[in-house]
Structure 1
């Protein structure tokens, strides 16, 4: 009889944990290709070198650990972080002892098979990371930072040919989107803060995903998510407006909004690898990968370590040094006119500040904009007051 089915990411560092070398070997031979096993190299240094080489090339990698001490845990986590790979522990035996150690190691996931009569009898399936959507070939309509400007977002989607309906179901308001001509909508995050209708922007984003599109996490979305969790966050920079609006919504909506935002990827890699959508940008070596560093970079860009006169971090112009093959479409920092730089383009045109909400059509590379219906929020000055 076969055991339970387990789904794992198709790009990860998988650490096989257990004292019984024969059991580890049988599990690895049953479920992994020989090329995926870094354990075939003799000695710890050989195993690490092969693991590093495979992860650099973004390949699934299996390593084996019989002595899962603090140094061993730290070593594998460090290697996974270096190559922005999820680190997954599969524990084959002596679960009580080893699971306690694994839980302290901050692995992305722990698969406990120790309680099974035969851990090898499980069925493993491998799926792409949420960030890896290369099989989605579009065509795409990629929309910049909405920041609570739901009316402009709806108008832009309609201008692009998509149908938008508002429905009332079980006393809850929701949106339904009918995509135009097989096109996929991609939203670049920062759905909330500053604008007048943040909840409706979240509803439209939910409808985008339901219609087969994509939404990536913006830094304002992440901060709102943390507020929804009851965390201690500074309610400023426009979040105060979102909080006020969210408090007028039902608890059911707030829970649904939290779950939706919590599941957003840092970026999406699309069109057979030719296109990336990220909120603030991304380095070439981070594309299609997952780590705290990737999430932070995609949400905020690259800090210089310096602050402006308002005490806000100054970000480096990462696009000037970008050398990756995929085109990168991003937002985060408002510009007056989007311009392509090293195969990247920022399409945040400051709608909430009275500019416009802009979309890029891909692969056409055509820009379509909806002018702001009002100045919803005064933009902080770029220069120090005299």
Structure 2
């Protein structure tokens, strides 16, 4: 006896049911999805013509269908399209809508025998006849061989009547969704291999360091249950990337820290995967330091950094953390565009006097309800701007390592022990170092 198939579906997604008329899509949808989540081509035909089987109403019906899908995805509502969807062109138009709203897409294919579909349709007057079903089957065979190549993030194929009727679903959480984590948190800016400063800052925040037999710090726990949130760029430029990673990974494993990926971790994963990468911006120093560790540690680093989320939505949606920040519309969504913004921010298309891209000042226009904490672009001092704050105060460049206590809103920082690296551009901000020092004491 075969086991029941379980389809894993993202909690926020556009889900296309694909199969000939009579293949069981509507029955499957009614069994597994709330009615408001299902947008049916038959229902849309009925809305515009009072007849769900009126094929002449199909163009107008699909205009309605696309409008509903667009509005639901804009509102972060998972949407299931119950239509044949057997033509690649029909699927592409819906995939474009999902891409515009930075929502992952799932294909559920109903591979049911042609004759069974014909028999089912024969019992219903509002369903197409055998000739149309055969055409659907032919189109299904021709156009669904490479659904992943079309842009679907996941593809599930249900084969035969028994599998389509017995299959179950399991909703999977997006990696960014940590709304149930309510803190309190200590959110820490870019560390860049400054392990000693990270240890000092954690102790100042009240954490107790745990060390291994060699004296290396491998975890830090707060007696009141607070958790650290590290904003990425743990690596590169600084004096001890392996030690920083060992501490951060230990805190993540024990549940004492949440960590998002920075652009420097993203690049490190690529080189550890054997891909060709320019050894610049401190990566060459990191690889030199990692060469003194064993292969098991380097593999652990590769897996750990590669699995980091690009952003988190925390505290019921009240707090968002991302390495380079994140505008309101991207928060809690999942796409290449969202990931790129979280890692690198956005640029204006111009370059500055140093030949570097000019960053678009997204925080200046931010009007979202969530607090957004980020790093990436060093500033002279951490300041609030429209419920956002950059916590990268340039420790590796001789500045400070800064944390914000959330929800208290209190800043804590420690000075760099020395200048470890030269910045590509001056740190942003107009305050002089003396004013910065006074404000952070």
TM-score (norm: length of structure 2): 0.81
Structure 2 Cα separation of the partners of residues 201 and 97 of structure 1: 52
CA distance in 2, matches of 1:149, 1:96: 57
Residues 10-30 of structure 1: per-residue CA shift (max 9 Å, x gap): 111111222244411111111
Query: Is 1:59 the equivalent of 2:77?
Result: yes
Mapped to 1, the partners of 2:403 and 2:87 lie a distance apart of 51
Counterpart in the other structure of 1:46? 64
> Shift in Å at residue 253 of structure 1?
1.7
In structure 2, the residue matched to 1:140 is 185
Residue 340 of structure 1: aligned partner: 384
Equivalences for residues 13-92 of structure 1 within 5 A: 13-39=14-40, 40-42=43-45, 43-92=61-110
Greater displacement, 60-69 / 278-287? 60-69
**Distance of 2:87 and 2:4 partners within structure 1:** 29
Residue equivalent to 1:215:
259
Q: 2:260, 2:309 within 8 Å by CA — same for their partners in 1?
A: yes
Task: Give the 3 Å change call, closer, same or farther, for CA 312–124 of structure 1 in structure 2.
Answer: same
Would you say the 8 A contact 2:23–2:111 is kept in 1? no
Decide whether the 8 Å contact of 2:16 with 2:85 is kept in 1: no
Number of equivalences = 380
Alpha-carbon separation, structure 2, partners of 1:362 and 1:338 = 14
Moved more, 229-238 or 12-21: 12-21
Whether the 8 Å CA contact 1:179–1:211 is kept in 2: the answer is no
Consecutive unaligned residues in structure 1, runs of 5 or more: none
1:168 touches 1:174 (CA, 8 Å); kept in 2? no
Alignment of 1:126-205 (within 5 A): 126-167=171-212, 175-205=218-248
| Structure 1 residue corresponding to 2:353, chosen from 290, 309, 315 | 309
| Cα-Cα RMSD | 2.2
Alignment-derived partner of residue 8 in structure 2: 7
The answer on whether the counterparts of 2:382 and 2:393 sit within 8 Å (CA) in structure 1 is yes
Q: Is the 8 A contact 1:99 1:112 kept in 2?
A: no
Q: Which deviates more, 278-287 or 1-10?
A: 1-10
Partners in 2 of 1:206 and 1:127 — Cα distance? 24
CA offset at residue 137 of structure 1?
0.7
Matching of residues 201-280 of structure 1 within 5 Å: 201-212=244-255, 213-280=257-324
Deviation at 1:120, TM superposition (A): 3.2
- Give, in whole Å, the separation in 2 of the partners of 1:249 and 1:73: 49
- How far apart, in 1, do the equivalents of 2:19 and 2:295 lie? 45
SS in 2 for 1:195: coil
Deviation at 1:65, TM superposition (A): 4.4
Asked whether the 8 Å contact 2:86–2:144 carries over to 1, the reply is no
Per-residue deviation, 1:381: 4.1
Provide the residue aligned with 2:409 in structure 1.
365
The match for 1:289 is: 333
Q: Which residue of 2 aligns with 1:355?
A: 399
Larger radius of gyration: 2
User: CA–CA distance in 2 between the matches of 1:111 and 1:260?
Assistant: 28
Q: CA deviation at 1:174?
A: 7.7
- Does 2:179 correspond to 1:125? no
Contact kept in structure 1, 2:179 and 2:317, CA below 8 Å? yes
Deviation at 1:99, TM superposition (A): 5.1
User: In 2, Cα distance between the equivalents of 1:312 and 1:144?
Assistant: 22
| Aligned counterparts of 1:129 and 1:317: Cα–Cα separation in 2 | 27
Equivalent pair of 2:242/2:290 in contact (CA under 8 Å): yes
Shift of 1:333: 0.8
- Give the whole-Å Cα distance in 2 for the aligned partners of 1:44 and 1:382: 53
Q: Deviations over 1:158-185 (max 9, x none)?
A: 221222223369xxx8823323312121
Three-state SS of the structure 2 residue aligned to 1:16 is strand
User: Structure 2 unaligned runs (5+)?
Assistant: 46-60, 113-139, 428-441
Distance in 1 separating the partners of 2:6 and 2:208: 39
Q: Give the conservation status (yes or no) of the 8 Å contact 2:185–2:407.
A: yes
Q: Distance in 1 between matches of 2:315 and 2:161?
A: 41
What is the aligned partner in structure 2 of residue 102 from structure 1?
147
Q: Judging changes above 3 Å, is the alpha-carbon distance between structure 1 residues 196 and 116 closer, same or farther for their aligned structure 2 residues?
A: farther
